Chains A and B, each alone.
Chain A
Amino acid sequence: MSERKVLQDLLKSITYYDEEAASAAAEKAVEEGVDSIEAIEHGVAIGLKKIGEDYERGEIFLPELMMGANAAQKALKILLENMPQGSDYRGQGRIVIGTVEGDIHDIGKNIVAAMLRANGFDIVDLGVDVSIQRFVDSVKKFKPDVLGMSALLTNTMPKQEEVIQALKRENVRDSVRVILGGVPVTEEWVKKIGADDLGKDAMDTIQKLKKICEINEI
């Protein structure tokens, strides 16, 4: 099988929202010895870009976007496991994202994560009820451009502040931009606790992240 065909299959598995096909195509790529970065950039990323554009044009809807992002995730997992030692894939930028401790709401965060993936960002999703220490450890380990913290309850919002304090204590606050999300979170809160920005909704978050990551590249 030619490399071109492998890349085509990867791309198609995403635009057909087909998780199984995505895994199969990624395994094939590894088997055929296609360079993982090449497979991601010329296969997965192009598929993601296509569904991201279709979504923005209103041609496809959230369930399709989510399923496409899931398919891409399957392929990425396999390809990243087979990366040559020392190489690092960060896409448009790396984002560590999670819902704070005591909060199990993840619908908004999942939509944001899927849309960010569709826009080519490398997402490390820590899930829900994420402890302060886990946020700090993940910033150290993954060295993200941005840390995104979601809180849907007014009584879990203070955890966002505690994470920022912990980042400062462990001297990593300056290495990362902190964006907050969640229905009760306001601009005032962002300022008050010393975060960098507010993602009002998924589209707003994407636009802000694109700006941040462009700046980081320069």
Chain B
Amino acid sequence: MNVLSNDEVDEIYQASLKILEETGVAFQQEDALTLFHKNGAQVDFEKSIVKFPSSLVEDLIKKVPKEYTLYHRDSEKRIDIADGTAHFQIGDYAGYILDYRTGERRRSTLKDLQNIIRLDDALDSFDLFEPPVMPLDVPSSMTQIKVVETMFKNTTKPSLMGLIIEPKEGRYILKMAEAVAGGEEALRKKPLMGILCQPTSPLIYAKEVIEKMNDCVRKGVPLSIIAAPTCGMTAPVTIAGWLTIGIAEVLAATVYAQLIAAKTPVVTGLATNVMNLRDGNLNIASPEAALCSAASIQIVHHLGLLGVAQGGTDSKIPSIQTGYEKMLSILYTLLAGAEVYGLATLDDWGTTAMEQHVIDAEIVEAIKRILQGIDVTPETLALDVIKEVGVGGSYLSHKHTFKNFRKEHWIPELSFRESWETLKRKNRKTIVDNAESKVAKILQDHRPEPLDKDVQKQLETITKEAEKELSAS
């Protein structure tokens, strides 16, 4: 599905190049500026602003690999990030968790983190891992390291973004990844994580982000370059302008990654968010965000890049609003063909609820079914069967139905499709009641694939080293 015409795609791309060439982007790190300067960019060292000749951008984005592979931590299962296939992940890195039953909203803890990672590990809808909550009961210098340690212990799924915030903790996280992969070379050959690189909109890459990119690229870790300019606040209020500045920001870092090491794998995209015009709150779900998100995928695909998008809901609790906003944002963007989609559960990345994780898994299943499309073959056209059943017959007991119903129809686990009578008999009111039971069952039964004991010990040693250094600073 195309949101923009080919001419519009080109117009927006050309406008992004113009931003890069005329306004430029700040790279607040000396070595990065020197590297750009050496490669023919116009650099204002005093203001840290790089102005990119269009030819530099066009040459370097051609070097970006058209596909790459991430591996589960046991390195058996692989996930090919390649043209057209959608992969999903869920996670808000939220500071709050909502107890749906009591309505209580409280700060998230390490225990919540462990539980939700275990929950997501059991949900097959999610191919990739993303941190669900922050463990706020551990010292702030250790939050990120604890997230990664807990991740490796509780899920085999690889992570594509969101794992490293500061370079100083990043170095320990890379060490952990090496320990799990089986050494530096093994991590390079079979990466089990990608790293999020995000500008400070409008048009700034901060020192920490650049240093983090340097460290990761040199270890062969793929990058997820995602700009999140806020429409109406850190980007123009018009969708085209918002899209254009976002694409410019993404291209600037993509070019930089290729300058540090050509052929560095990247996925690119926008985390579309809009300033709430009533109170300045940041919102991620709206028709405008969906339009911008889908259009950004169309543009990065036009440039031969892999596309990533994110979305969710502004609603604070699992509700009707949650459902409609999710389907609107996710489905629309997926129809444009994103390779990776990150779901936020509730409250614009601010709050999560376990029930919503399992509901979202179901939403993703429904979307995956739509993406499969309609199979048209002699078997599915069923002309012989139609002839056989004839006028006024029934298909229910026919072999063709028995053979094909599971292949053709997605059967939801949580959504209610039964009659009023069944509903009454089961004493259930909404999908959330079903979700609650599913969460309880998974938490009780699901044991993630255990991490090798030796590796576990290595992780604990690295965590202790980090504790020593980071809590001292």
Contact = CB atoms under 8 A, between A and B. Distances in A.
B259 interface: no
Interface stretch (A21-29, A55-63, A79-87, A164-172): A55-63
A197 B281 CA distance: 21
Interface in A110-129: 111
A107 B233 contact: yes
Interface string A55-97: 0001001110000000000000000000000000000000000
A154 B280 contact: no
A53 interface: no
Interface string A190-204: 000000000001110
B48 to A, nearest CB: 13
Nearest to A155: B166
Most buried by A among B232, B237, B278: B278
B143 to A, nearest CB: 10
Contact of B278 (A58, A108, A154): A58
A62 B140 contact: no
A107 B279 contact: no
A62 B277 contact: yes
Interface residues on chain B, size class: 10 to 19
Contacts of A62: 275, 277-280
B278 A61 contact: yes
Interface residues of A, number: 11
Nearest to B237: A63
Interface in B252-294: 275, 277-281
B234 interface: yes
Given A107-B233, A107-B234, A61 B140 contact: no
Interface string A9-30: 0000000000000000000000
B237 A202 contact: no
A63 B280 contact: no
A202 B278 contact: no
A25 B278 CA distance: 29
Interface in B228-249: 232-234, 237
Contacts of B278: 58, 61-62
B140 A154 contact: yes
Nearest to A186: B107
Nearest to A105: B200
A202 B278 CA distance: 11
A202 B140 contact: no
B234 A203 contact: no
A202 B280 contact: yes
B277 A108 contact: no
A60 to B, nearest CB: 10
Interface in A40-65: 58, 61-63
Most buried by A among B234, B275, B281: B275
B232 A108 contact: no
Contact of B232 (A58, A63, A201, A203): A63
Contacts of A63: 232, 237, 277
B403 to A, nearest CB: 56
Contacts of A111: 280
Contacts of A61: 277-278
A203 B279 contact: yes
A58 B278 CA distance: 7
B30 to A, nearest CB: 19
Contacts of B277: 61-63
Contacts of A201: 279-281
Contacts of B232: 63
A151 B281 CA distance: 17
Most buried by A among B140, B233, B275, B280: B280
A195 to B, nearest CB: 20
A106 to B, nearest CB: 11
B205 to A, nearest CB: 14
A24 to B, nearest CB: 27
Nearest to B107: A186
A3 B275 CA distance: 40
A202 B234 contact: no
Nearest to B280: A111
A108 B237 CA distance: 17
A202 B280 CA distance: 9
Interface of B: 140, 232-234, 237, 275, 277-281
Given A62-B279, A111-B280, 10 more contacts: A61-B277, A62-B277, A62-B280, A63-B232, A63-B237, A107-B234, A154-B140, A201-B280, A201-B281, A202-B280
7 contacts: A58-B278, A62-B278, A62-B279, A63-B277, A107-B280, A202-B279, A203-B279
